[in-house]
Amino acid sequence: MKQPKAKTVAEAVTWLESVLPDDDLKKLAGMDEDDLVQLDLGLGAYIRNDLPVWHNEPLLKDAGVCHESGASQAIIRALWLKLRLETKSSEPES
């Protein structure tokens, strides 16, 4: 079994930021929260398989979920929130 690259949602977000292309991160930051669920079969599957999330009890506990797809959705949402905050903080004040 693969050793997990992250045991917390924060570690998973850091990992994702290091592996995803900047264009993908910009697209994610621009998405509406309600649309994040559409990423489950693509980005979510990538997270579940490459991180991996399977049998990663510390990560599931940190995400507050009991199923792997819930963990990948929590990671996607946490990354989305972080990117949105960074985008807002880099905008000039009016």
pLDDT digits (tens, 9 = 90+) for 5-49: 999 999 999 999 999 999 999 999 999 999 999 999 999 999 999
pLDDT digits (tens, 9 = 90+) for 51-73: 999 999 999 999 999 999 999 99
pLDDT digits (tens, 9 = 90+) for 82-92: 999 998 777 66
Asked if the structure places residue 4 within a domain, the reply is no
- Its domain, for residue 39, covers 9-90
Asked if the structure places residue 31 within a domain, the reply is yes
Question: How many domains, in total, are found in the chain?
Answer: 1
Asked if the structure places residue 80 within a domain, the reply is yes
Supply the DSSP string of 6-47, one letter for each residue.
-SSHHHHHHHHHHHS-HHHHHHHHTS-GGGGGGGIIIIIHHH
Asked if the structure places residue 2 within a domain, the reply is no
Kindly report the pTM of this predicted structure. Answer: 0.91
